[in-house]
Amino acid sequence: KQEVTQIPAALSVPEGENLVLNCSFTDSAIYNLQWFRQDPGKGLTSLLLIQSSQREQTSGRLNASLDKSSGRSTLYIAASQPGDSATYLCAVTPRDFGNEKLTFGTGTRLTIIP
Amino acid sequence: DAGVTQSPTHLIKTRGQQVTLRCSPKSGHDTVSWYQQALGQGPQFIFQYYEEEERQRGNFPDRFSGHQFPNYSSELNVNALLLGDSALYLCASSLESQGLYGYTFGSGTRLTVV
Q: Is B101 on the interface with A (CB under 8 A)?
A: yes
Count of alpha carbons within 13 angstroms of residue A49, beta-carbon side: 14
What is the per-residue pLDDT for A1?
A: 86
Q: What pLDDT sits at residue B1?
A: 58
Give the pLDDT confidence score for residue A96 in this predicted structure.
Answer: 86
Contact across the interface for A100 and B43, Cβ inside 8 Å: no
Q: Is B112 on the interface with A (CB under 8 A)?
A: no
Residues of A in contact with B106 (CB under 8 A): 43
* A38, A91, B21 from A79: Cα distances, Å: 19, 24, 40
| Closest alpha carbon to A43 in B67, B3, B83, B11 | B3
Helices and strands per DSSP (H, E), number in chain B: 0, 11
Chain B residues near residue A104 by CB distance under 8 angstroms:
42-44
Strands, E, within A1-114: which ranges?
4-5, 10-14, 19-25, 30-38, 44-51, 56-59, 62-67, 72-77, 86-94, 103-104, 108-113
Q: Are B33 and B92 in contact (CB under 8 A)?
A: yes
Task: Quote the minimal CA–CA distance from B44 to chain A in Å.
Answer: 8
> Within a 10 A sphere around the Cβ of B71, how many other Cβ atoms?
8
Rounded Cα distance, A33 and B82, in Å:
33
Neighbour count for residue A10 (Cβ, 10 Å):
10
The nearest CA of chain B is from the CA of A108 a distance in Å of 10
Q: What is the distance between the alpha carbons of residues B73 and A58, in angstroms, rounded to a whole number?
A: 32
The terminus-to-terminus CA distance of chain B in angstroms comes to 37
In angstroms, the CA B58 to CA A99 distance is: 9
Looking at CA atoms only, how far is residue A39 from chain B in angstroms? Answer: 10
**Partner A contacted by B76 (CB < 8 A):** no
Taking only the tens of pLDDT, chain A with its 114 residues reads 899 999 999 999 999 999 999 999 999 999 999 999 999 989 999 999 999 999 999 999 999 999 999 999 999 999 999 999 999 999 999 998 878 889 999 999 999 999
Residue pairs spanning A and B at CB distance below 8 A:
68
Note whether A114 contacts B: Cβ–Cβ < 8 A: no
| Minimal C-alpha gap between B67 and chain A (Å) | 18
A21, A108 Cβ separation under 8 angstroms: yes
CB B112, CB B13: distance < 8 Å: yes
Q: Which residues of chain B have pLDDT under 70?
A: 1
**What's the CA gap between B92 and B46, in Å, rounded?**
11
Q: Given an 8 Å threshold on Cβ–Cβ distance, is B33 in contact with A43?
A: no
Res B98: pLDDT: 83
